[in-house]
Amino acid sequence: MYNQHTIYVIGDAKASQNNPITKKFSQFFLALVIDYDNDEIVDSECSATVGLTNRFVHSLFAGRKMDDSMIEQDIRQRYHGASQKALIVAFHDAKNKYVQAKAALST
């Protein structure tokens, strides 16, 4: 399904205590599949309790570059779920893990 030039990373963050995601998973997770040849996000999924949330989050990330400075702004403008802040934090965490994983490939 994914070519040999992809990396899988998971970013995590704390969601608010009253968030159903916290009750179900205790953390918020954002999973990304990234093509390290061009830094493009190929696929994504998050620890949502509603399928529509996963599909919407996927639309925020798929086809974009990891260094796209507009991703966080798009999340703030378009995603108004209780886990908005957690999604941003999880993305930054995933981004850091991706940078580390990609650096390890070149050594």
Domain boundaries, the chain: 6-100
Q: What is the pLDDT of residue 43?
A: 98
- Torsion sign across C-alpha atoms 83, 85, 88, 94: negative
Sole residue written with tokens 């949502």? 48
Q: How far is CA 16 from CA 58, 68, 79, in A?
A: 21, 27, 16
**pLDDT tens track for 54-105:** 999 999 999 999 999 999 999 999 999 888 999 999 999 999 999 999 999 9
Name residues whose C-beta falls within 8 Å of residue 27's C-beta, 6 or more positions apart in sequence. 12, 13, 14, 15, 47
Hey, what CATH class is 6-100 in? alpha beta
